[in-house]
Amino acid sequence: DSGVTQTPKHLITATGQRVTLRCSPRSGDLSVYWYQQSLDQGLQFLIQYYNGEERAKGNILERFSAQQFPDLHSELNLSSLELGDSALYFCASSGGPVTSGGQETQYFGPGTRLLVL
Amino acid sequence: GQSLEQPSEVTAVEGAIVQINCTYQTSGFYGLSWYQQHDGGAPTFLSYNALDGLEETGRFSSFLSRSDSYGYLLLQELQMKDSASYFCAVRNYGQNFVFGPGTRLSVLP
């Protein structure tokens, strides 16, 4: 158990709908990362927040948005869903913003499996 | 852009040693990380190389050569529980994380 929690574990919805995925980081961790993993695909970095502020943005679609709240939990909002958005969405957390040369081990949550029908 | 390449599959027997390679094309990055992911599970951190050379953590070792744009993960004394997918990853100077496509390791009895 990494200490990172994600809800819901499974989500089935229809095309065109909007869903919200929730992540609670490990106690004390300030950074939250979101990843998408499609079937048989590697991990695609979506976005990172540090202490409520957006820190880095990866391959996140305009239909997707995220935020980190004062209590440090984060939500990933996916709208106008398409069949291709079906994937496993992971949240990870780490202690700090990652300074140059430093390693911030990321602790991954169990993921939310999204199925768009 | 940045890209990392890994072999898609590797097979080895229990007790053996296996090396999973990762080659990359990226303009600059802080270090090379390795993650393990079992089927249906979440990725877990294994190792990190900030500098060139070998890092050892128990049965796992990782190597980085920036001049050769190359790194590898070495798994020794393979066990059945090591059957999983292994991903290399970098954090580039743009602060984005880039993961390789993953190598599926199958350990046979």
CA distance A4 to A25: 5
C-alpha B109 chain-centroid distance: 23
- Predicted confidence at residue A105, as pLDDT, reads 83
Residues of A in contact with B44 (CB under 8 A): 2, 108
pLDDT, one tens digit per residue, over A19-46 is 999 999 999 899 999 999 997 677 999 9
Measure A40 CA to nearest chain B CA, in Å: 9
CA distance B97 to B91: 4
Strand partners, B22: B71
Kindly tell me if the per-residue pLDDT of A99 is higher than 80.
Answer: no
- Say if the Cβ atoms of B31 and A103 lie within 8 Å: yes
Mutate to test the interface with B, among A33, A39, A43 (most CBs of B within 10 A): A43
Q: Does B99 touch chain A (CB under 8 A)?
A: yes
Question: HSE on the CB side for A117, CA within 13 Å?
Answer: 3
- Say if the Cβ atoms of A42 and B44 lie within 8 Å: no
Q: What is the DSSP string of A47-113?
A: EEEETTEEEEE-S--TTEEEEE-TTS-EEEEE-S--GGG-EEEEEEEESS---TT-----EE---EE
Measure B8 CA to nearest chain A CA, in Å: 10
And the tokens for A75? 């939500």
**Mean per-residue pLDDT for A70-80?**
97
Decide: B84 and A31 in contact? Cβ < 8 Å. no
Strand partners, A24: A5
Per-residue pLDDT of chain B (109 residues; tens, 9 = 90+): 568 999 999 999 999 999 999 998 877 888 899 999 999 899 999 999 988 999 998 999 999 999 888 999 999 999 999 999 999 998 887 778 889 999 999 999 9
**Residue numbers of B between 34 and 93 with CB closer than 8 Å to A:** 41-45, 48, 50, 87, 89, 91
- Say if the Cβ atoms of A105 and B48 lie within 8 Å: yes
And the tokens for B97? 């994380």
Pick from A41, A56, A110: which is nearest to B96 by CB?
Answer: A56
* B82 SS3 class: helix
Mutate to test the interface with A, among B6, B32, B45, B104 (most CBs of A within 10 A): B45
Pick from B30, B99, B101: which is nearest to A100 by CB?
Answer: B30
